[in-house]
Amino acid sequence: MSPEITQRKLARTRVAPHLSDLKKWQSEALRLSPLHSSRHQPAEALLEGERQLEALRKEIEMARQALILEMDDIRDAPAVVHYLAALDSLLKRYPPNTRAALPTR
């Protein structure tokens, strides 16, 4: 096998355990997005949804940074690039909300 094929296989193998986290975060974000955006929710529920989304966002950002460090030797491999792109897409879909950090009265 060529070194490129070997490196791609290694990258897929190393990224594979992280795919379950990606699916979990995607599901959680979909579950939380109606809580975050519904105007028919009480203010407390809306704020709680925003806080939960912000916590999820921080978790994803920390995992993204850890993955970059862990995969530094193979960062240009397609599997790593695609996984990071999926995380970035998820983060862009749910931008940070400064109101979530404000205390309630």
Is 63 within the bounds of a domain? yes
pLDDT higher than threshold 60 for residue 98? no
Quote the pLDDT of residue 66: 95
15: containing domain: 3-38+49-98
pLDDT above 60 for 101 = no
Task: Tell me the average pLDDT across 1-9.
Answer: 89
Q: Is residue 67 part of a domain?
A: yes
Tokens 């094929």 belong to which residue?
5
Q: Which residue has the tokens 């060529």?
A: 2
How far is Cα 36 from Cα 14, in angstroms, rounded to an integer? 34
3-state class (DSSP) for residue 44: helix
Q: Which of 69, 39, 70, 57 is nearest to 98 (CA)?
A: 57
Predicted confidence (pLDDT) per residue in 16-68, tens digit:
999 999 999 999 988 887 665 666 777 787 788 889 999 999 999 999 999 99
- Reported as a pLDDT band with limits 50, 70 and 90, residue 104 is very low
In a domain, 43, yes or no: no
Q: What is the pLDDT of residues 66-81, one digit of tens each?
A: 999 999 999 899 999 9
Residue 16, Ramachandran bin (φ over 0: left; ψ between -120 and 50: alpha; else beta)? alpha
Please count the structural domains in the chain.
1
Say if 105 falls within a structural domain: no
